[in-house]
Amino acid sequence: MKNILKLLLVISSFAYSQVYDFQQLCLDCAEQNGFYCGDDPANWTQYSPNGCVPNGYEDLFYLNDGWEDCADGSDEEGAEPTSPDACLPPEPFECDTVFITLTELEFIFDTIIETEYVYNIVLDTVEIETLVPEYIYITDTVFVYEDVLDTLFVDVVEYVDVIVYDTVVEIEYVEFIEYITEYVDCDTGLPCNSSIDELLDKSKQNSVIYNINGQAIKVRQGLYIENGKIYNKK
């Protein structure tokens, strides 16, 4: 895997170098007395074309002008123009043989057993005996309580003869015979206290026929008074 990565890096650097010749660009910049921003195009700006900050080329002086012409600002703070020696490739360094000891790693996969407990709820039929008290009907009134099944309360009904005396009203009718004594005139047969004299005088004046009671009549019948005299017509 490491060899493959190295090969890809070499190929990519080779392909990248086909686009830019960084060493030649650096030498051209040094010949123009400019400042080279480096081999990374990402550090170049429009004021450092091909990575070179002008310093007198075509009367352009951008070095140490207070503006960051390289993206990292390395062309400021008293930067010096790039010399041709700075464009030389780095000296190759000697590589020693490095021995890498690979230690075999032993992976032990242990078996983990997970125990799952399943609770089975078994519903069984349970018969519960329920004591149901029976009501006993006797000729008398019987009270049966659920709490006490062995005690029996019996109310005895006693019949008593009740004699009711009613008020009897007897109405007795008694006939009373009242005898009234009345005195009559021997000549006329009329009561002595009657106003016969007035009737006699009145009949003389108006020629009206009266009965004994002083009532005017038209038919002469029984005792009647006419012209001051008493007549009896049978």
Q: Which residues contact 133 (CB under 8 A, 6 or more apart)?
A: 144, 146, 149
pLDDT single digits (tens) 95-154: 677 677 766 666 666 666 776 666 566 566 666 766 666 655 555 554 555 555 566 676
- Domain C-terminal end among 87, 122, 146: 87
- Domain C-terminal end among 61, 87, 113: 87
Query: Is residue 92 assigned to a domain?
Result: no
Give 55's strand partners.
Answer: 61
The one-letter code for the residue type at 10 is V
Q: Does residue 36 carry a pLDDT above 90?
A: yes
User: Average pLDDT in the 12-19 region?
Assistant: 52
pLDDT single digits (tens) 148-185: 556 667 677 777 777 777 787 788 877 768 777 766 66
Single pTM value for the model: 0.33
Query: Is residue 178 assigned to a domain?
Result: no
Domain that holds residue 15: 2-87
- What is the model's pLDDT at position 135? 59
- Domain C-terminal end among 54, 87, 120: 87
Domain count for the chain: 2
- What is the model's pLDDT at position 2? 47
Give dist(CA 68, CA 76) in Å, integer: 7
Share of the chain above pLDDT 70, in %: 61
Q: Does residue 26 carry a pLDDT above 90?
A: yes
Query: Is residue 106 assigned to a domain?
Result: no
